[in-house]
Amino acid sequence: MSSAMRKLIPLGNRVLVKKVEPVLKTAGGIYLPDSAKNTQTEGEVVAVGPGARNFEGNLIPIGVSVGDKVLLPEYGGSVLKLGEDEFHLYRDEEILGKFH
């Protein structure tokens, strides 16, 4: 990880994600055609903000943690170039789910 990424702490309910390259070959060695690829992408959470505050001022925690593998929408988020690495910044509610 670049030193620039380690210094970036998302604010509010934002989550910093590094996208994972899609699997292009199955475990059996079969290469997948472009039409078989999913439009949704996966990523790994590398940093999270503290969360958002509700109307009473209480902190609503973010539903993912650093290291979680998450399912991302095809579009959305902000692209950040930190050093030679590319990251994506999403709001917590934009993340579709996490893998266990």
CATH code where residue 40 lies = 2.30.33.40
What pLDDT score does 6 carry?
57
The domain tally of the chain equals 1
**What is the pLDDT, as a whole number, of residue 61?**
93
DSSP string covering 44-82: EEEEE---EE-TTS-EE--S--TT-EEEE-SS-SEEEEE
Give the per-residue pLDDT at 69. 96
Query: What length is written for the chain?
Result: 100
Residuewise pLDDT in 10s, the chain (100 residues): 555 445 789 999 999 999 987 767 777 888 777 666 655 589 999 999 999 999 999 999 999 999 999 999 988 899 999 888 999 999 999 999 999 8
Domain enclosing residue 65, as ranges: 3-98
Residue 2: half-sphere exposure toward Cβ, Cα within 13 Å? 12
* Amino acid at the residue 90: Y
The pair phi, psi for residue 23, each rounded to 5°, is -75, 120
What pLDDT is stored for residue 24 in this prediction?
72
